[in-house]
Amino acid sequence: MENYRKSKTVEKPSPLPFTNLPSDIIEMKVKDGSKIRNLMGYAIGKMESESMRQVLFSGAGKAISKTITCVEIMKRRLKNLHQITKVFFRQTEEIWDPIVPEAGLDPLTVKRNIPAICVLLSKDPLDTQEPGYQAPGSFDAFWLETLKSESQGQAKRKQGGGRGASRAGKHPRSVGREDSYKKP
């Protein structure tokens, strides 16, 4: 590729993975350079009004993690939001032209499939049978169950049934070291 330079990148338009969305929906297109504070200020301000019922976050490539962060912030600030998440690919084409046209090289076209995510948040109930659906509060229920199982595991360890009970409470790295160090 040292004999080529990228002349342009064309993103193929891909339809959103959601159908039957209202025409007045807020669509937040998250980019890699987007500021979360700006995105959230706008989206939360709109969703706090009674007239707005849904918001759609979308991002591709390096912006996926930022998109998920925005969704999670929104779910914590505005309780009882229903969620449907869709993962898909966006296709882009990169056109590479030869640096020296007289060298007999042809232009190259490179097609890439970029992973993308689209998350619909709604104040109104959504189809629970839709793949990717998450009910309001399901995040909290998951973590409450995780904390409960962890606290039960810690209680068992304190009773002596946990890992390392045979070492009589010593730190794993200090077992057997008392004898290996001798004073001069």
CATH number at residue 51: 3.30.110.20
Asked whether residue 104 is domain-assigned, the answer is: yes
Asked whether residue 17 is domain-assigned, the answer is: yes
Distances (CA, A) of 42 to 37, 39, 49, 50, 70: 9, 5, 12, 15, 11
Amino acid making up residue 110: V
Give the integer Cα–Cα distance in Å for 18 and 147: 35
Q: With CA atoms as reference, report the closest residue to 86 among 127, 118, 130.
A: 118
Asked whether residue 164 is domain-assigned, the answer is: no
Asked whether residue 103 is domain-assigned, the answer is: yes
Determine the pLDDT at residue 164. Answer: 52
pLDDT digits (tens, 9 = 90+) for 15-43: 888 888 888 899 999 999 999 999 999 99
Asked whether residue 158 is domain-assigned, the answer is: no
126, HSE (Cβ side, Cα atoms, 13 Å): 26
Asked whether residue 34 is domain-assigned, the answer is: yes
Reading the block at residue 133, the tokens are 């659906």
Asked whether residue 8 is domain-assigned, the answer is: yes
Phi, psi for 2 (deg, rounded to 5): -70, -15
Amino acid making up residue 115: P
pTM equals 0.70
Domain that holds residue 124: 4-143
Structural domain total, the chain? 1
Task: Give residues with Cβ within 8 angstroms of 21, minimum separation 6.
Answer: 54, 56, 120
Determine the pLDDT at residue 109. Answer: 93
Asked whether residue 29 is domain-assigned, the answer is: yes
Strand runs labelled E in the chain: 4-11, 26-30, 54-60, 82-98, 108-122, 133-134
Determine the pLDDT at residue 27. Answer: 94
What residues in the chain have per-residue pLDDT under 70? 138-143, 160-184
